[in-house]
């Protein structure tokens, strides 16, 4: 079954909102009795995270909210989207990070700021 794609709403982040791309997940850390911490990479760790804010019209924001709620099962499913890699936009498989579900804030009467944190696979 193919993954859903980003809906027909803006996908380009506001330049100042784009957070640096973290190209891998945090390592698994185990504290030892002697005070040392052992860190290990996660198997198959090819996952990056990025934060961004996208400006949308109120109508686009409503379309996006409905897509997240219904198509992505309240933002839990994976999807494909064009992601800024620092040099170009590339189609990637994404998912909203556990602590990065979309948040909506009124920016002006004609703009809604949609902030999110994405988990990007095969980064």
Is 70 inside any structural domain?
yes
Q: Is residue 5 situated within a structural domain?
A: no
pLDDT attached to residue 8: 93
Question: Does residue 30 sit within a domain?
Answer: no
Residue 89 contacts residue 81 (beta carbons within 8 Å)? no
Domain membership of residue 1 (yes or no) is no
Considering all CA atoms of the chain, what is the largest pairwise distance in Å, rounded to the nearest integer?
58
With vertex at residue 57, the alpha carbon angle to CA 96 and CA 100, rounded to the nearest 5 degrees, is 15
| Contact by Cβ (8 Å): 83, 89 | yes
Q: What is the band of 43 on the pLDDT scale with cuts at 50, 70, 90?
A: low
| Burial readout 30-44 (b: 16 or more C-beta within 10 A, e: otherwise) | eeeeeeeeeeeeeee
**How many domains, in total, are found in the chain?**
1
For the ranges 14-18, 34-38, 84-88, the lowest mean pLDDT is seen at: 14-18
pLDDT in tens, 51-73: 999 999 999 999 999 999 999 99
- How far apart are the C-alpha atoms of 60 and 66, rounded to whole Å? 10
């Amino acid at each position: 079954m193919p993954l859903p794609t980003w809906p027909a709403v803006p996908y380009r982040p506001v330049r100042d909102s784009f957070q640096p791309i973290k190209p891998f997940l945090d390592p698994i850390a185990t504290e030892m009795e002697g005070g040392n911490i052992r860190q290990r990479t996660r198997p198959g760790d090819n996952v990056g995270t990025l934060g961004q804010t996208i400006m949308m019209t109120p109508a686009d924001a409503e379309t996006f909210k409905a897509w997240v709620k219904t198509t992505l099962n309240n933002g839990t499913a994976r999807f494909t989207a064009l992601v800024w890699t620092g040099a170009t936009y590339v189609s990637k498989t994404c998912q909203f990070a556990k602590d990065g579900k979309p948040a909506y804030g009124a920016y002006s009467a004609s703009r809604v700021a949609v902030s999110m944190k994405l988990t990007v696979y095969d980064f």
